[in-house]
């Protein structure tokens, strides 16, 4: 199955979480808003000044210079006491409430003050430097809609609307199973043939980055009963189960067989992508199962390409599910076999004329987690293509820090 078809199929299988929980504004960063937010107040709440200057009746300042009588001073936070009559003005500061009668603010730089009088030197435009009540937002409408990711700007709006606590979708729970007789716990001394279960930690980090909660459930030996038991348990603990290893065609690769025995619907068994060809996608009702390949690079690439969009949709985000691809110019030739969408890892650097991509040195083997580290982009050689020449444009999947 081509990778794009797999992504579409996977997204179609996802039903976003619906449960909403309330969190403090201070901990709402990066959460997904679960209800629409509105206010009973207009924004701005009242006409106010955008400048330090003088509030005037426009008609009084059409012909300049003109001397006006200063009847009061209105700092931000104070309620004006006078209605401006003909020939009157009020000293006003940024954020100060516009007095009744005034419709325009003359900036201080265009005036000259003498005691209780001020001379307006330049004709203002009508309505200048007045932030009109309701010009940003009118009471009762939607300030923010559900499915919005909460960043600094959204936090400012939530605070201004006194929306505390904040309704957010609960985070999806994602179980992690690591299959393989060769795997050991991180603190264990390695015997010949053994390796640390590193995928568990990498996947947990990716799950957090995708806005979900990792539930690591440990190492599963390459035995049918153990695999069956582990998957059954995982399904009781999480919305999504991710396993790594055991999905290729080896004699000890039991995952697909056990999924079928447990009554899963298997939607995908392999995708035309390199690294990461064996990829099992199954469902148990609403619950999704991803069987990722065990090779460290393959499992990460499969996550970025296929699991990340699913988790984003699941978490309630209304947009932005697909992986973030940017255009870059490649520093080296990029080659591929042509039969699979191929990813080559390296560094994306943003310069004055856009992104550049340079390949990681060393082998681009699906087991080489060493040179995958310190990279932040996966250049894509599309299905059917065998070469992208140095200097030409390439799509790069941005991963990790330091990119868009």
How far is it, in rounded angstroms, from Cα 267 to Cα 64?
A: 77
CB of 205 to ligand AMP, least distance (A): 13
What are the φ/ψ torsions at residue 297 (nearest 5 degrees)? Answer: -70, -40
Please say whether the beta carbons of 339 and 366 come within 8 A: no
Per CB under 6 A, which of residues 166..185 are in contact with ligand AMP? 178, 180, 182-183
CB atoms within 10 A of CB 393: 13
Does the protein bind ligand AMP through residue 197 (CB under 6 A)? Answer: yes
Q: Which residue is nearest to ligand AMP (CB)?
A: 294
Q: Which of residues 274-303 bind ligand AMP (CB under 6 A)?
A: 293-296
Q: Residues near 130 by Cβ (< 8 Å), separated by ≥ 6?
A: 47, 48, 49, 50, 98, 103, 104, 105
Rounded to the nearest whole angstrom, what is the least distance from the CB of residue 217 to ligand AMP in the complex?
12
Q: Determine, following the binding rule CB under 6 A, whether residue 271 of this chain makes contact with ligand AMP.
A: no
Q: Which is nearer to ligand AMP, 52 or 181 (CB)?
A: 181
In this structure, what token pair is assigned to residue 336?
A: 């591929």
User: For Mg ion, which residue of 53, 101, 146, 180 counts as binding (CB under 5 A)?
Assistant: 180
Whole-angstrom Cα distance, residue 373 to residue 361?
11
Instruction: Choose between 254 and 355: whose C-beta lies nearer to ligand AMP.
Output: 254
Residue 178 binds: one of ligand AMP, Mg ion, none (C-beta under 5 to 8 A by kind): ligand AMP
> Which residues in 321-380 contact Mg ion (CB under 5 A)?
none
Residues 214-273 interacting with Mg ion (rule: CB under 5 A): 245-246
DSSP sequence for 153-184: HHHHHHHHTT--SEEEEPPPEEEEEEE-TTEE
From the centroid of its chain, how far is CA 171?
A: 14
Residue 324 interacts with ligand AMP (CB under 6 A): yes or no: no
Contact region for Mg ion (CB under 5 A) — 25-33, 156-164, 289-297, 395-403? 289-297
Assigned token pair, 361: 């040195």
Strands (E), 321-371: 325-330, 334-335, 341-351, 354-359
Single out the residue of 94, 198, 209, 283 in contact with ligand AMP (rule: CB under 6 A): 198
Minimum CB separation from ligand AMP for residue 355, in Å?
30
Show Cβ contacts of residue 250 under 8 Å, excluding neighbours closer than 6 positions: none
Q: Closest separation between CB of residue 216 and Mg ion, Å?
A: 17
**Site residues (vs ligand AMP, CB under 6 A):** 178, 180, 182-183, 195, 197-200, 244-246, 248, 250, 293-296, 367
What residue ranges bind Mg ion (CB under 5 A)? 180, 245-246, 294
């Amino acid at each position: 199955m081509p990778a794009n078809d797999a992504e579409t199929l996977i997204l179609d299988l996802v039903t976003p979480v619906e449960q909403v929980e309330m969190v403090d504004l201070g901990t709402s960063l990066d959460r997904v808003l679960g209800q629409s937010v509105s206010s009973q107040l207009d924004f701005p709440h009242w006409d106010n000044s955008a400048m330090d200057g003088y509030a005037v009746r426009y008609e009084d300042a059409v012909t300049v210079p003109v001397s006006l009588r200063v009847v009061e001073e209105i700092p931000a936070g104070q309620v004006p006491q006078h209605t401006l009559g003909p020939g009157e003005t009020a000293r006003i500061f940024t954020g100060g409430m516009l007095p009744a009668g005034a419709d325009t603010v003359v900036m201080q730089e265009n005036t000259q003050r003498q005691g209780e009088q001020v001379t307006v030197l330049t004709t203002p435009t009508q309505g200048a430097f007045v932030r009109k009540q309701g010009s940003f937002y009118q009471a009762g409408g939607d300030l923010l809609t559900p499915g919005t990711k909460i960043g600094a700007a959204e936090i400012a709006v939530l605070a201004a609307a006194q929306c505390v606590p904040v309704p957010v979708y609960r985070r999806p729970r994602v179980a992690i199973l690591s299959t393989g007789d060769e795997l050991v716990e991180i603190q264990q001394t390695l015997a010949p043939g053994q390796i640390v279960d590193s995928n568990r930690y990498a996947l947990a980090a990716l799950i957090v980055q995708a806005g979900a909660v990792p539930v690591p459930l440990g190492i599963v030996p390459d035995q049918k009963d153990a695999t069956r038991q582990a998957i059954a348990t995982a399904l009781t603990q999480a919305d999504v189960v991710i396993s790594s290893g055991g999905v290729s065609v080896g004699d000890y690769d039991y995952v697909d067989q056990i999924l079928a025995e447990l009554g899963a619907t298997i939607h995908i068994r392999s995708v035309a992508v390199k690294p990461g060809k064996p990829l099992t996608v199954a469902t148990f009702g609403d619950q999704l199962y991803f069987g990722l390949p065990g090779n460290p690079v393959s499992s990460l690439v499969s996550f970025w390409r296929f699991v990340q969009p699913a988790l984003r949709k699941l978490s309630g985000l209304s947009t932005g599910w697909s992986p973030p691809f940017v255009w870059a110019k490649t520093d080296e030739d990029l080659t591929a076999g042509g039969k699979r969408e191929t990813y080559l890892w390296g560094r994306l650097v943003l310069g004055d004329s856009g992104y550049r991509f340079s390949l990681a040195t060393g082998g681009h083997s699906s087991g080489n987690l060493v040179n995958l580290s310190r990279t932040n982009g996966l250049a894509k050689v599309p299905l059917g293509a065998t070469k992208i020449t140095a200097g030409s444009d390439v799509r790069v999947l941005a991963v990790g820090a330091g990119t868009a």
